[in-house]
Structure 1
Amino acid sequence: MRYWTIGFLLTVFAPKGFCQSLVFEKDSQLKVECEGGGEGPAWHPALGVFMTGHDGAINRMDSTGKVSVYRKDAGANGLVFDREGRLLSCEPKQRRITRTERDGTIKVLTDSYESHRYNEPNDITLDSKGRIYFTDPCYGDRSKLEMFDADKKIVEGVYRIDLNGKVTRILGRELERPNGILITPDDKYLYVADNDNNALNGARKLYRFDLKSDGSVKLGSRKLIFDWKKGRGPDGLKQDKEGRLYVAGGLNKPNPPFEPDTNVKGGIYVFDKQGKFLEFLSVPKDEVTNCAFGSEDHKTLYITGGGTLYSIRTKTPGYLIWPKAK
């Protein structure tokens, strides 16, 4: 195992006068759990941590640290467990959203919108009613894209799947390239990581939108939380029980021509529920893609970066859709 101490890691971007972490447990250390974690992750109390490898397979690390392939050739990215403990998966390779039932069968929830195939579904979340929200950017081959607006411009949108299976696009060209997504536990806000890292001056911003009770977005409510400027922008994000946001983003080494700036380092950026920056946790491997809470007390933050799964202990339990804290 390799470790990096919190005292050292939190010196970059630490608030003036900072000497003790407000977020991470005293003497907590960033721990390498295993290899095989390129994206995801999602924690199951009995089965362990699920994550997607660079080859798109869904891998699983059990309680002993053993890693096995859960679904080969899934072509997956973002993962989350729904309120019944079923695994939901964004599958950009096959351009669809799936649910793994308790008996192991795979159900396709949606693979098209208005008769057009999705771009590359990327990240996924749920609200308190069980409605599913996902982002649909494209970071690969753009010649395959079918999502266009009335002006024939490509749409990289955000979608909602209602309990009856109906799909609605709730954001379209209000964003450049939506990536990470999160609904607050009270269903009041939608956070979206807008990360166009294939253009020098593309968006690298975290936004918050007001969410209506019917699951639609209040247009005009967009609020900028943080701007990564010309570095690598935000990716996946999660929230703890006190409303703090934990956002994966940044870059340790320049990646020209589109990501030349490394002033915003790679790691986890923590914001309070008003959007004020609190702390930064450095993660050594690029790219830092996502995070998720787990463990019995929900105080372990799992982080995927550079094909590695890391963990670190937090002072406050994370908010999990499932399972609920005991």
Structure 2
Amino acid sequence: MNFITLTLLPILALAGCSTVQNQAPPVWAKGAKPQEILTSGAGEGPAWHPKLGLLFSGDGNVQRWAPKEDKLDVFREKAGTNGLLFDYSGRLLACEPKQRRVTRLEKDGSITFLSTHYQGSRYNTPNDITVDEDGRIYFSDPRYGNRSNIEMLDDQGTPIEGVYLIRQDGTVVRVITHEVDRPNGVLVSSNQKYLYVADNNNDTVGGAHKLWRFKRKSDGTLNLRSQQLIFDWKTSRGPDGMVQDASGRIYVAAGLNTDNLPFETKLPYEGGVFVFTQNGILLDHLPIPNDEVTNCAFGGEELKTLFITAGGHLWSMKTSIAGDLPWPKGRSSKTE
């Protein structure tokens, strides 16, 4: 397959950027350029498996791209998934928005339904997923598009687009109710202290396009008073999926290359991957020409390849620091 390369463009006027970059390793591998791997079929939720290759959601299936053979095939047909993630034991967690549930693919091929309802109501459309080192799972539950059949309502009848925690015993608690506008990507920080939440309302005038950070309590719930704004994309497309490297830097899929009026604009932040320190200092922006830039994940040899899904296209970019994943090569001895 022929690869397409892009030239990395510099970011202008990043306050404090040079100081931070002088103190830390560069984001990208020396001389690296983005490479386009696939032009269709890669919608969302990339997740790396050292033997299988890269899994992702696309065309209604869980797709698999095998890098050695440069081959695309179907891993799980008609799965209807979005966010995917391997937990610390190497089992595949999945948000299934069409079925309005969260599942786990076991190593024997069976599927466990982790959560299908909350307090008797069906979820909106589970979107993205993350896990802590104790095995507790967080997932976001926004509703994009048709809102006619929303069952998640508060006492006043207002729709709830929340974030939920699945405990090790299978019980579920809502940890975010109305604190964010429309939650999308979620990520437990490397040090386990924080939960990052992407707030991306892309079909409402004045909707949020922000990245938030919350302190986690020992039981996995959140200190809602600790809510901190990490970055605001203003009128551009807000954050979607995200991942982190071994140094704690956060890589966020966001931005837009074409105006989506009246809801979103191309400027000030064009589509790509935005790289931040844990405290929200913008270090770099990797431009990706395809809308929509939906997600990213580390994989490849030594976990030093960032895979990016964008409008069905699959891109890759070599990094200088390895990714920090629950599995493989996770932060915990619980990995295999």
TM-score relative to the length of structure 2: 0.92
- Seq. identity, %: 51
- Measure, in 2, the Cα distance between the counterparts of 1:190 and 1:10: 30
2:37 to 33, 40, 47: 33
Matched, 1:162 2:167: yes
- Measure, in 1, the Cα distance between the counterparts of 2:5 and 2:273: 14
- Measure, in 1, the Cα distance between the counterparts of 2:282 and 2:329: 27
Work out whether residues 82 and 96 of structure 2, in 8 Å CA contact, stay in contact via their aligned partners in 1.
yes
Q: Which amino acid aligns with 1:148?
A: L
Work out whether residues 126 and 183 of structure 1, in 8 Å CA contact, stay in contact via their aligned partners in 2.
yes
- Measure, in 2, the Cα distance between the counterparts of 1:85 and 1:10: 36
1:50 to 51, 55, 63: 55
- Measure, in 2, the Cα distance between the counterparts of 1:303 and 1:288: 7
Q: Which amino acid aligns with 2:102?
A: I
Three-state SS of the structure 2 residue aligned to 1:208 is strand
Matched, 1:282 2:287: yes
User: Which consecutive residues of structure 1, in runs of 5 or more, have no partner in the other structure?
Assistant: none
1:139-166 residue CA offsets vs partner (Å, 9 max, x unmatched)? 0221110001112111000001011100
Three-state SS of the structure 2 residue aligned to 1:297 is helix
Large movers: runs of 4+ above 6 Å: 16-21
**1:137-148 alignment, distance < 5 Å:** 137-148=142-153
Work out whether residues 127 and 185 of structure 1, in 8 Å CA contact, stay in contact via their aligned partners in 2.
no
Count residues in correspondence.
323
- Measure, in 1, the Cα distance between the counterparts of 2:76 and 2:130: 20
Residue in 2 that maps onto 1:9: 8
RMSD: 1.8
**1:1-326 alignment, distance < 5 Å:** 1-5=2-6, 8-13=7-12, 15=14, 22-34=26-38, 35-53=40-58, 55-63=59-67, 64-324=69-329
- Measure, in 2, the Cα distance between the counterparts of 1:227 and 1:261: 14
CA apart distance, 1:14: 6.5
Q: Which amino acid aligns with 1:144?
A: N
- Measure, in 2, the Cα distance between the counterparts of 1:222 and 1:259: 25
CA apart distance, 1:262: 2.7
- Measure, in 2, the Cα distance between the counterparts of 1:80 and 1:65: 22
Q: Which amino acid aligns with 2:186?
A: I
Work out whether residues 38 and 304 of structure 1, in 8 Å CA contact, stay in contact via their aligned partners in 2.
yes
User: Which consecutive residues of structure 2, in runs of 5 or more, have no partner in the other structure?
Assistant: 331-335
CA apart distance, 1:303: 0.5
Work out whether residues 13 and 279 of structure 1, in 8 Å CA contact, stay in contact via their aligned partners in 2.
no
CA apart distance, 1:261: 4.0
CA apart distance, 1:61: 0.6
Q: Which amino acid aligns with 2:178?
A: R
- Measure, in 1, the Cα distance between the counterparts of 2:13 and 2:93: 36
